[in-house]
Structure 1
Amino acid sequence: MPAPQPTILATSGGYRTPEFGDREFGPLVHYAVELSGTTRKPKMCQIGTAAGDQRHQNAAMAEAGYKAGFDLVNLNLFAEPTFQHIEDVLLDQDVIWVHGGSVVNLLAVW
């Protein structure tokens, strides 16, 4: 059931090892999309800054998004942001998925 207002779902995990490929979204990610209430192809932005914006993680997330039928973008903040207008990108998403790494690092960057 969709959330009645913008919602923060604070959780851990969200992935599973697929039969093929590097990563697949588990029930937690799909639940976040369900909470968004979108009726079109879900738009999801993944932010992996806490783990250092690793490009191989971006590729794995893009693959998982493709498999799930999501329109996924990766927002990197190291060394330069991926997008010039970050706020516009984030406000255009149904789900923003922040994951992995050092929370202290992430808070320092933000």
Structure 2
Amino acid sequence: MSLSDAPRSGGPRRIALLGGGFSTDTDAVLDTWVLGLARAARPKVCFVPTASGDADGYVDRFLTAFGALDCEPSVLRLFRREPDDAALREFLLEQDVVYVGGGNTANLLAVWRTHGVDRLLTEACDRGTLLCGISAGANCWAEGSHTDSFGPLTHLPDGLRLLPGSVCPHYDSEPGRRPSYRRAVASGALPAGWALDDGVGALFTDGTPTETVRRVATARLYRVEPDGRGGISEVPVTA
């Protein structure tokens, strides 16, 4: 039985894909939007920098950015893990937002599974925690993704399967992303899915886009799927 087929604890699964945030932006537009989606007025926000190898500079940027916002920030480092299994579960389940940073998607998934974080995040999501992230932190929630985890851009048919379909980040900003992702979906290497320009945020509720926000006027979320004639349909989504 896959994680996506496991018994649900009740409540919708809410996942926010970010084309930016404190990692790349000089403002707090997308991060403030994320906090507004949380279930608490002053949410507990846990940053998970696994995909970057728990890079200290990345952690420092998060703590600086979110320390200036109305929230309670914390960090989960897995490369120098301290809590035991029970404490780790308690910590993750009490978070209102889990914010996953960018880096290597394939490595992130492997480390999470080693520590059981994949199962804990599924449980947290089913209990009302908002899951979100940028780049690898957006890829990880889907069934598959478009990634440079192995060097060249390619498809990764792996993920937590909390968001049906596939995800492609940096759709408008990295050369080769758009044509490579379109080829992967057209060939069936990846299922139909969602492509994000930098500068857009998208909230999915039980797999359906229910809200979008833009910090850049031209930024879009796209639905990308086979058109039934051997090509691709790419449609901007406004929710």
Identity of matched residues, %: 32
RMSD: 1.8
Amino acid at match of 1:108: A
Alignment partner, residue 9 of structure 1: 16
CA distance in 2, matches of 1:44, 1:61: 10
> TM-score, normalization: structure 2?
0.38
Superposed counterparts of 1:48-67, under 5 Å: 48-67=49-68
Gaps of 5+ in 2: 1-10, 113-239
Deviation at 1:31, TM superposition (A): 1.9
Superposed counterparts of 1:26-45, under 5 Å: 26-39=28-41, 41-45=42-46
User: Which secondary structure does the structure 2 equivalent of 1:96 belong to?
Assistant: strand
Gaps of 5+ in 1: 18-23
More helix by share: 1
Which structure has the bigger radius of gyration? 2
Amino acid at match of 1:10: L
2:97 to 53, 70, 95: 95
1:54/1:82 CA distance change after superposition, 3 Å: farther
Deviation at 1:83, TM superposition (A): 3.1
CA distance in 1, matches of 2:44, 2:53: 23
1:29/1:83 CA distance change after superposition, 3 Å: farther
CA distance in 2, matches of 1:12, 1:63: 20
CA distance in 1, matches of 2:103, 2:70: 26
Amino acid at match of 1:9: A
CA distance in 2, matches of 1:45, 1:82: 15
User: Which secondary structure does the structure 1 equivalent of 2:73 belong to?
Assistant: strand
Q: Is the 8 A contact 1:36 1:94 kept in 2?
A: yes
CA distance in 1, matches of 2:94, 2:81: 17
Amino acid at match of 1:14: G
CA distance in 1, matches of 2:109, 2:70: 31
> TM-score, normalization: structure 1?
0.77
Point out which structure has higher relative CO (alpha carbons under 8 A, 6+ apart). Answer: 1
User: Which secondary structure does the structure 2 equivalent of 1:57 belong to?
Assistant: helix
